[in-house]
Structure 1
Amino acid sequence: MKIVRVFAHRVDLPLVEGSYKWSGGKSVSIFDSTIVGVETDQGIVGYGEVCPLGPFYLPAYAEGVRAGLRELAPHCIGSDPRELGKLNHRMDAALKGHPYVKSGIDMACWDILGKVSGLPVCQLLGGRFGEQVRLYRAISQTPPDEMARNVANYKSEGYTRFQLKVGGDPDLDIQRIRQVREVLAPSDRLVADANTGWTQHEAMRVVRAVRDLDVYIEQPCLTYEECLAVRRNTDHPFVLDENVDGLDMLLRAKSDLAMDVVNLKISKLGGLTKTKQIRDLCVSMGIAMTLEDSWGGDITTAAIAHLAHSTPEEFRFTSTDFNSYVTVSNATGAPQRERGFMKASDAPGLGIEPRFELLGPRAVDIH
């Protein structure tokens, strides 16, 4: 079996809440997502999705996905999509860095492998653990009262995990954390995610001010060294995200005891193959994980579900269902949330099929 064509479609994903706001005044109202297709000489087509949060979040941007595919895809023609390790080695040799560009191709090839074998991707990634995957809800940064109301509303829908977008004015963030914690049950988990938005002294003020609360602190500062300094001065459970962009940083953070939980984003790491490698190492080292991606629609959500469902439950801190945040469904068959949980499909591959009537013409077509 050989890859004979790589193509991509662009699709806009407007947000249900109108906009999504996080640290530093950053916001977005419509996500620009790329649906990647990989076609084989046997007529089997697999699909992936890449949706950066924006060029101001990680070293990734939407048009960069498509530009990168034009550069990378010719090197994938002729490869066997089932040989994921060999394919990733070839992509890394052909394009240094740019893991988010490679993610859509890798994801699509896992979809092909599942379709060829007749198995859902979660079984190929290690097996299905448990009956469902617990979800968190990301709470856009707004005034404290409004954030508390939003959390209460989502709690009524069955969510028990909340990722509070902070990283703004420290005094307001302290209020945000306190007011939201008040509307939660003791068993509910709250993560204060600064998305690198605090300076080190601001982060120290916040963690000291909420010392009495049950809250996780996620990625408070821009650099690893700043985050480590905060980590060493608080007894709150600690999550690293943006700084852990590969195996080397994971091992460094483990050696420094820099985190209790790590956030693994599929496109940040270069696809399901490399995320699985890091996931499996985290399980071996006893590190819990948030398993997700930067953003996306139905296809990304399906990939997250398969990755999370194939992870032992005790190491699954949480995941998310990005397709419930947007107004456009770009594929059929994707998991749908139910009382704060979702399930990976039992169908072969990712279990999805793109809605081509919504995608428009191909933005990339390499063959």
Structure 2
Amino acid sequence: MRIERINVYSMLLPVKGGAYRMASDDVQSLDSTLVEVVTDEGLTGWGETCPIGPVYQPHHALGARAAIAEIAPGLLGQDVASIRLLTKRMDERLNGHGYAKAAFDIAFLDLLGQRLGVPVSTLLGGALTDRVQSYYSLIVGVPDETARIAADKVSSGYPRLQVKISGRNLEEDVATVHKVWEAVGYKARIAVDGNRGLTVAFAIHLDRLCPSIPFAFEQPCNTMEEVATLKGRLTHPVYLDENTEDQNAVLRAISSGIADGFGFKVTRLGGPTKMTAIRDLCAIQSLPHSCDDAWGGDIIAAACAHLASTVEPRRFEGAWIAQEYIEGHYDNANPIIIDNGHIAVPQGPGLGVKPEPGTFGTAVASYGS
């Protein structure tokens, strides 16, 4: 089964209900890039990558499509049987840009799963469950309103909450953490996410002003060097997110002992195939982590769910998908949805998601016959 044609699409995903507010930016809409890989046997595989704007990470939508333009011509005629060989071929065409290569990796897994008649989770080592935990991300907001939403989401079944802070005064951040804890208590696990926005001093202050509230402190500061200075000075465990830009960064964080867990983005780490190595390394070190992504529709959501199902549940921190924040689905017959705080893992071959014809309009680029 060889690659005959590659089509690239752009899909605008407006944020439902207003801006998605983080420390670094207020996001109104997202530009998702879709990759359609067509084979000489008539099978089609789909991949997706959707950076959350140009400042959250050193990734952006136009960069993804420029990287795809460098890679795609070199994949034409290649056999899909070995994803490792295809990964090698991509690396020979372009150095870095894992978030763009991830779209191809997802599409290759989709194709191979269809060819073998198995779900992507089987190709990633095998599912341990058919239903994975999700978590809800509470944007930076007024403390009382944030607490109200937190209670509502826990009542609807979410077992974990991510509380975004930073970009404002310390008093509001501390008040938000306290009010969310008062609203939900032990009914849900809590992560307090600084999105790189806190100084070392602010992180220490917040930690000491919330000593009795059990939460994971996610990416409080901008760099690994800043986070390293927090070691031994905080009462709360520290998780890394944005600093884990590739496999080497994760290995560095683990070897230096500065991370107690991780918030992983599947496309940032180069796709599900590369993330399995990180999953297994975290298992060896008994480090909890999530399996989510920055943004995107059903294709990324399906990839996250498949990978999440292969993680040992006691070390799993949830799978975040953008479904609560966007309208509609790529595949209305097999949508990836959050139900009672959990995501059903697709059981069909490949991703288990097939975008309906015409969903993405006209291709912005095509390669091959």
Label 1:328 to 1:12 Cα distance change in 2 as closer, same or farther (>3 A): farther
The alpha-carbon deviation at position 231 of structure 1 amounts to 3.4
Secondary structure of the structure 2 residue equivalent to 1:35: strand
Deviates more, 1:283-292 or 1:326-335: 326-335
Instruction: Tell me, in whole angstroms, the C-alpha distance in 1 between the residues paired with 2:255 and 2:294.
Output: 26
* 1:167-218, Cα deviation, whole Å (9 max, x unpaired): 2222211111111111113141111100100111111111111112111100
For the Cα contact (< 8 Å) 1:261–1:287, is it kept in 2? yes
- Equivalent positions of 1:257-276 (< 5 A) are 257-276=257-276
* CA deviation vs aligned residue, 1:235-286 (integer Å, no higher than 9, x gap): 2122101111222222221122212211221111111111112112211221
Deviation digits for residues 270-328 of structure 1 (CA, Å, limit 9, x no counterpart): 11111112112211221111111111111111110000011121221211232232113
- 2:52 aligns with 53
2:204 match = 204
SS at match of 2:174: helix
Match of 2:294 in 1: 294
Q: Does the CA contact (< 8 Å) of 1:164 and 1:192 recur in 2?
A: yes
Residue 125 of structure 2 aligns with an amino acid whose one-letter code is G
In the other structure, the counterpart of 1:151 is: 150
**5 Å matches for 1:1-367?**
1-24=1-24, 26-168=25-167, 169-332=169-332, 333-367=334-368
Give the secondary-structure state (helix, strand or coil) at the position aligned to 2:229: helix
Return the TM-score normalized by structure 1. Answer: 0.96
Separation in 1, partners of 2:247, 2:80? 23
Indicate the SS of the match to 2:34: strand
Counterpart-to-counterpart distance in 2, 1:58 and 1:225: 17
Q: Which amino acid letter does the alignment assign opposite residue 360 of structure 1?
A: G
CA distance, structure 1, for counterparts of residue 18 and residue 287 of structure 2: 35
The 1-side partners of 2:231 and 2:329 are apart by 39
C-alpha separation between the residues in 2 aligned to 1:261 and 1:170? 24
The code of the aligned residue for 1:30 comes to: S
Task: Please say which of residues 285-294 and 342-351 is displaced more in the overlay.
Answer: 285-294
CA distance in 1, matches of 2:13, 2:98: 22
Q: How far apart, CA to CA, are the structure 1 residues paired with 2:154 and 2:312?
A: 25
Q: Which moved more, 1:112-121 or 1:61-70?
A: 61-70
Aligned counterparts of 2:246 and 2:64: Cα–Cα separation in 1: 19
- What one-letter code is carried by the residue in structure 1 that aligns with 2:160? R
**SS of 2:51's equivalent?**
coil
Matches of 2:290 and 2:162, distance apart in 1? 11
Q: What do the CA deviations read for 1:73-95 (whole angstroms, capped 9, x no partner)?
A: 00111222231111111111211
Residue segments in structure 1 that go unaligned for 5+ positions in a row: none
Cα pair 1:239 1:263 within 8 Å, conserved: yes
Which sits farther off after the overlay, 195-204 or 15-24?
15-24
Query: Matched residues in 2 for 1:232 and 1:80: separation?
Result: 50
- Displacement of 1:334 in angstroms is 3.3
Distance (Å, rounded) in 2 between the aligned partners of 1:345 and 1:61: 28
Q: Please report the TM-score for the alignment, with normalisation by the length of structure 2.
A: 0.96
What's the C-alpha RMSD, in Å, of the aligned pairs? Answer: 1.3
Bigger shift: residues 89-98 or 10-19: 10-19
The DSSP-based 3-state class of the residue aligned with 1:32 is strand
**d(CA) in 1 for partners of 2:219 and 2:132?**
23
Aligned length: 366
State the SS of the aligned residue for 1:54: coil
CA contact (8 A) 2:293 2:321 kept: no
Q: Is the 8 A contact 1:82 1:112 kept in 2?
A: no
Q: CA deviation at 1:163?
A: 0.6
Q: Give the partner amino acid of 1:229.
A: T
Matches of 1:198 and 1:356, distance apart in 2: 45
Displacement of 1:226: 0.6
CA contact (8 A) 1:14 1:328 kept: no
Q: Is the 8 A contact 2:296 2:321 kept in 1?
A: no
Q: Could you tell me which amino acid in structure 1 is paired with residue 355 of structure 2?
A: P
Unaligned ranges ≥5, structure 2: none
SS in 1 for 2:339: coil
More moved, 330-339 vs 164-173: 330-339
Distance (whole Å) between structure 1 residues aligned to residue 130 and residue 328 of structure 2:
27
CA distance in 2, matches of 1:323, 1:149: 20
Q: Provide the C-alpha distance between the structure 2 equivalents of 1:254 and 1:313, rounded to a whole number of angstroms.
A: 20
CA apart distance, 1:355: 2.6
- Identity rate of aligned residues, in percent? 35
